[in-house]
Amino acid sequence: MKEKLFLNFDINLVLKLCQPILHSKLLAKLGADRVKPDACCVVKDWRHFLDGLSLRKIPGVGHKFQKRLEPLGITDVNNVWDLGDDAEKVLGEIIGQGNARKIVKFCHGEDSRPVTPGPRKSIGAEVSVVVFISIM
């Protein structure tokens, strides 16, 4: 009886880069969240991209702000747009002027916060190993 051992290690190393390139930190973050993990997001029109977006997706709008805005029918970016020039004033009476100013700007795709690179959180790699064993 003859033993035959065949080992085939097929090692595939896949490096994936996800680096959104957009004109604001807000749009880059929302774009990266929308297409994870293996896609690319191109935003040509911020208004189309933000259309219908829940306010909960906007940084700074948490559960408490949501509970205060919902009774007034303000649940998504479109509702803020519908308030027009009065948006900051209306929201300011509910959540404060500073928060209102920030949220209205975010709803219009404006974000002047600097993008500061942080430490790399992880490096992903995929390894496929195939082992064939044949005994004759």
Question: How does pLDDT run across 57-98, given as a tens digit for each residue?
Answer: 888 888 999 899 999 999 999 999 999 999 999 999 999 999
Ordered domains of the chain (ranges, CATH): 3-135 (1.10.150.20)
Q: Which residue has the higher pLDDT, 65 or 30?
A: 65
pLDDT of residue 127: 56
Rounded Cα distance between 126 and 109, Å, is: 36
Helices (H), 14-96: 25-35, 46-50, 63-69, 77-82, 87-95
Q: What tokens does 65 get?
A: 């702000």
pLDDT of residue 5: 41
- The residue type found at 15 is L
Q: Which residues of 18-42 are buried (b: 16+ CB within 10 A; e: fewer)?
A: eebebebbbbbbbbbeeeeeeeebe
What is the value of pTM for the model shown?
0.63
Q: For 133, phi and psi rounded to 5 degrees?
A: -125, 125
pLDDT of residue 73: 93
Mean pLDDT of 97-119: 85
Conformational region of residue 25, where left means phi above 0, alpha means psi within -120 to 50, and beta covers everything else: alpha
pLDDT of residue 131: 53
Mean pLDDT of 42-46: 75
